[in-house]
Structure 1
Amino acid sequence: MAASGPVERLQQLETIEKDVSNAILSAGKALEELSKEKPQMKMIENHTTGFMKTLEGVEVGLMKQINYLTQVSTGQPHEGSCYAAQKDLLMGYHRMAHVRSRLEELEKIRTDGKPKLLQLAKSYSMPPMAKPGQLPGN
């Protein structure tokens, strides 16, 4: 399936929804024919065949939608999503903030001239993480 935008995806889901309605309608007509005193087997077979074909189309359409959602949610590359790149960028900012804080601590130890390494190791904590969409220092 070619990559498509959200509008096309919604149209595909609407088509699937209409097919589900048609399948239910075909099943209802088949049951209606069966409830008659003298059911016509040809009509029952036609409605049943229509139901099965429509149901197969619904299954194929839903599987395509599910496969697309599986790719999107697992971070696999696909067109139209920047989630993985944004996640990498935020992780890079977090690493940069961590390195910056460690360098500041090391510079402080160097300029004080006192061996505070043991004290520093005991009191060390991770810098706060930025919220998604927020860059550190902003």
Structure 2
Amino acid sequence: MSLMEKIRQLELIEKDIAAAISSAGQGLQELSKDKPGNKHVETHTTNFLKTLEGVETGLTKQINYLTQVSTGQPHEGSNYAAQKDLQMAIHRVEHVKSRLNELEKLNAEHTRPRPPSVGQRSFSMPQTDHMT
């Protein structure tokens, strides 16, 4: 079954959902009247239930189709797996770049000479001539 046919089926299901909601709304509107007509309420309720049953059947068919094609293996015409692999690879590259930048900063901090702090004295040992 083609992609366009699947989309048409989903559009029909969407229209049926709207019709079911409309039938339910009309039934509730009839019930909110001072003197509701039982025949009208029953008609709207029946329409709602029949339409809802059709929606359930259609959605079940769509779900069954999706479970068949989504087994983790890419099916004909699908590039989702390749796109996801690419996105993950890009994410890993960005993470590695970030970690390398952090390591460069740490290396620069540890390898640069540190000037003596203000108020810190430097002591040196007196030079002695041991040959005497």
CA distance in 1 between partners of 2:55 and 2:77 (Å) = 30
Partner of 1:8: 5
Question: Runs of 4 or more off by more than 3 Å in structure 1?
Answer: none
Q: How far did 1:8 drift?
A: 0.2
CA distance in 2 between partners of 1:82 and 1:41 (Å) = 53
CA distance in 1 between partners of 2:55 and 2:32 (Å) = 27
The structure number with the bigger radius of gyration is 2
Deviations 1:91-135 (A, max 9, x none): xxxxxxxxxxxxxxxxxxxxxxxxxxxxxxxxxxxxxxxx67xxx
Q: How far did 1:70 drift?
A: 0.5
Are positions 1:66 and 2:77 aligned together? no
Partner of 2:45: 48
Matching of residues 1-138 of structure 1 within 5 Å: 4-74=1-71, 81=76
CA distance in 2 between partners of 1:28 and 1:20 (Å) = 12
The letter of the residue matching 1:9 is K
CA distance in 1 between partners of 2:64 and 2:71 (Å) = 11
The letter of the residue matching 2:76 is S
Equivalenced residue count is 80
Q: How far did 1:48 drift?
A: 0.2
Partner of 1:102: none
CA distance in 1 between partners of 2:56 and 2:2 (Å) = 21
CA distance in 1 between partners of 2:71 and 2:34 (Å) = 55
Q: How far did 1:62 drift?
A: 0.3
Percentage of matched positions with identical amino acids: 60
CA distance in 1 between partners of 2:77 and 2:54 (Å) = 31
Deviations 1:13-64 (A, max 9, x none): 0000000000000000000000000000010000000000000000000000
Q: How far did 1:81 drift?
A: 2.4
* Normalised TM-score (structure 2): 0.56
Q: How far did 1:75 drift?
A: 5.2
The letter of the residue matching 1:41 is N
